[in-house]
């Protein structure tokens, strides 16, 4: 039986949780928290900033694609309108131009989508690492003994510190962008 990194992490979290809960009653009380990572990612101001920057970065290419699509549509309408009065050679050339332009539009769209997905994944990876560091810093500063996120089957609102971490993330973002 082989364990994936995710399985190992889940087992490690479960063991740590059980160990923390199994301490004798006279031991120091443990402070445990839960962070809803998808919610944190969704609501963090860094996410909105990163997605806005991506939109801005890719806007010129998107405009180029829209212009090429318009060019294709205009040429297609012209060919359909004039096909009855075109000679055989002129019609073949027009159809070839249409096919070539259509291929170019499809190629541009595919490249755009692939490049955007790559950049989005890069930005999300950077964002995840940054937010993980923020969660670690907040948890350590607030004196938590254990904070769990992914893989939790149940977490009461009493241990959900997502809002507190989000406030710290927003404050740090505001401080860094003044």
Torsional sign, CA 158, 159, 163, 168: positive
Is the torsion defined by CA of 176, 53, 51, 118 positive or negative? negative
- Of 158, 161, 163, the residue nearest 142 (C-alpha): 161
pLDDT tens string 11-26: 444 545 544 555 444 4
pLDDT number for residue 146: 83
Which tens digit of pLDDT belongs to each residue from 81-136?
Answer: 988 888 889 989 999 999 999 999 999 999 999 999 999 999 999 999 999 888 88
pLDDT of residue 12: 44
How far CA 25 is from CA of 13, 22, 28, 31, 32, in Å, comes to 21, 9, 8, 14, 16
What does the alpha-carbon distance between residue 168 and residue 174 come to, in Å, rounded to a whole number?
10
> Any idea where the domains of the chain sit in the sequence?
29-176
pTM for this predicted structure: 0.67
Q: Which CATH number does the domain 29-176 belong to among 3.30.910.20, 2.40.10.220, 3.90.1150.10, 3.40.50.1010?
A: 3.30.910.20
């Amino acid at each position: 039986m082989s364990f994936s990194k995710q399985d190992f992490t889940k087992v490690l979290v479960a063991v740590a949780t059980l160990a923390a809960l199994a301490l004798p009653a006279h031991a120091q009380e443990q402070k445990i928290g839960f962070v809803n990572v998808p919610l944190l990612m969704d609501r963090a101001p860094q996410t909105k900033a990163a997605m806005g920057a991506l939109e801005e970065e890719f806007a010129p290419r998107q405009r180029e694609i829209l212009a090429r699509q318009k060019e294709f549509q205009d040429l297609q309408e012209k060919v359909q309108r004039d096909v009855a009065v075109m000679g055989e050679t002129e019609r073949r050339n027009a159809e070839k131009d249409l096919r070539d332009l259509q291929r170019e539009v499809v190629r541009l769209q595919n490249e755009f989508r692939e490049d955007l997905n790559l950049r989005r994944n890069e930005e999300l990876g950077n964002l995840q690492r940054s937010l993980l560091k923020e969660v670690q810093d907040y948890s350590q500063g607030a004196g938590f003994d254990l904070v769990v996120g992914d893989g939790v089957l149940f977490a009461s609102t009493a241990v959900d510190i997502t809002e507190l971490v989000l406030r710290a993330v927003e404050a740090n973002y505001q401080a860094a962008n003044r």
